[in-house]
Amino acid sequence: MSPAVFFWAAARYAMAMNPPTEPARPAAPLLVDASRGACPRCGAATLFDGPVRFASHCRACGLDYVQFNVGDGPAAFLTLIVGTVMVVLALVLELNLHPPLWVHILLWTPLTTIAVVASLRVAKGALLTLEYRNRAREGRIANKGPDA
């Protein structure tokens, strides 16, 4: 049996043994869903209650968002990435145009804040969507009974 046939048969067997538990909607591209704040199950834009705060559940289909553990993991990385980009842009502006300090303050403070919040919203939405699509859950230890 060729490897391609083997993997095809194994995939078919795995799908037969693990049927989907929920009706699947066609998966939109990850970043499109994340930037829209789309529910990973139904696609309604109900993922966020605030700029970066998740809603407790989807108002359209009832999916419980509390079960997903996105945390604040992306915040530090995005702050460093956006901060680096903003510093490079500020240096380019300074070296080319030599604006006064107040121009830098008025320009880069709101731009940095907006960029961090926007990218954090997309990153958190993408992580939650990936957790849902890949059925990622908290690890559990099997209960072996009192004699184990």
Q: Which residues contact 58 (CB under 8 A, 6 or more apart)?
A: 39, 41, 42, 44, 46, 47, 65
**CB burial class (10 A; 0-12, 13-18, 19+) of residue 47?**
buried
**What local confidence, expressed as pLDDT, does residue 26 receive?**
66
pLDDT (tens digit per residue) in 60-106: 999 999 888 888 878 888 999 999 999 999 999 999 999 999 999 99
Flag whether pLDDT at 18 surpasses 60: no
Q: Of 82, 80, 77, 76, nearest to 118 (Cα)?
A: 82
Report d(CA 65, CA 56) in Å as an integer: 5
The percent of residues in the chain predicted with pLDDT above 90, rounded, is 52
Instruction: Pick the more confident residue, 132 or 11.
Output: 132
Flag whether pLDDT at 148 surpasses 60: no
The answer to whether the beta carbons of residues 37 and 117 sit under 8 Å apart is: no
Instruction: Pick the more confident residue, 32 or 89.
Output: 89
Q: What tokens appear for 94 in the block?
A: 């300074």
